[in-house]
Amino acid sequence: MNILAPSLLAVDFNNIERDVKLLEQSGVEWLHLDVMDGCFVPNISFGPPVISSLRKISKQFFDVHLMIMDPIRYIETFKKVGADSITVHYEACEDLNKTIKAIRDAGVKVGVSISPETPVCVLEPYIDLVDLVLIMSVRPGFGGQEFMPEAFERVRTVRTWAKKYNSSLHIEVDGGIRLENVGQVLQAGANVIVTGSAVFNGDIMRNVQAFKNILEA
């Protein structure tokens, strides 16, 4: 099943409740929540208080992407405020196996991500330990960047490993995805699509339907 996971980095924060409810009415089941600490990435976004507030107004699946150093310190915190899945970066973990175990022990789904400059081969030992692999198709930290086409081959590689080690693995792609290229991302082997401005700019419900038409084709 293909899944659309709009990134709330691009939401109108003055009208966040309105826009989240529009997504729900459009049939969007996942929300992608990017947490940035200003250290692992140069930007700062939002943290547990915002996610806790969102949890009060939404029953959607909270796909929390931690772009923070030493994320193991905050696993329980994000679980308590409503995360359904927690994705950490390979590059940000001193001990990735320990971090994966901490997420699993917290009772939420486990994801691991790599930045574009990290060789995709580092992920292979973890494919059977996680529920989701997130391939960044832009450099993490800011929205609105152009899709990096080298991500296609990285997705194809992970899909090959998934067939071998973990057939239920979600393969998520985040960065620069628009209606014009989402079909290629799906063909490469991804099944979870993260996009921000392409959903939130303009008519949200119309944008969601346009993506769903492709994801469901």
Q: Is the pLDDT of residue 47 over 80?
A: yes
Radius of gyration of the chain (CA): 16
Q: Give residue 74's Cα distance to chain centre.
A: 17
Per residue in 137-186, pLDDT (tens digit) is 998 876 667 899 999 999 999 999 999 999 999 999 999 999 999 999 99
Residues 68-97, mean pLDDT to the nearest whole number? 98
Contacts of 197 (CB under 8 A, 6+ apart): 10, 143, 144
Planar angle of CA 101, 117, 36, nearest 5 degrees? 55
Residues 74-95, mean pLDDT to the nearest whole number? 98
The pLDDT, as a whole number, for residue 140 is 84
Q: What are phi and psi of 134, to 5 degrees?
A: -110, 115
Which residues are bridge partners to 111 per DSSP?
87, 132
DSSP state, 199? H
Q: Is the pLDDT of residue 203 over 70?
A: yes
Q: Is the pLDDT of residue 106 over 80?
A: yes
Q: Is the pLDDT of residue 202 over 80?
A: yes
What are the catalytic residues?
A: 34, 174
Which conformational region is residue 2 in: left (phi greater than 0), alpha (psi within -120 to 50 degrees), or beta? beta
Residue type, 64: V
> How confident is the prediction for the chain on average, in pLDDT?
96
- Among 108, 105, 103, 116, CA closest to 82: 108
Residues 49-67, mean pLDDT to the nearest whole number? 97
The pLDDT, as a whole number, for residue 98 is 98
- Among 91, 42, 51, 85, CA closest to 70: 91
The pLDDT, as a whole number, for residue 141 is 73
Residues 114-141, mean pLDDT to the nearest whole number? 95
Q: Where are the beta strands (DSSP E) in 37-164?
A: 61-67, 85-89, 109-114, 132-136
Q: Is the pLDDT of residue 75 over 80?
A: yes
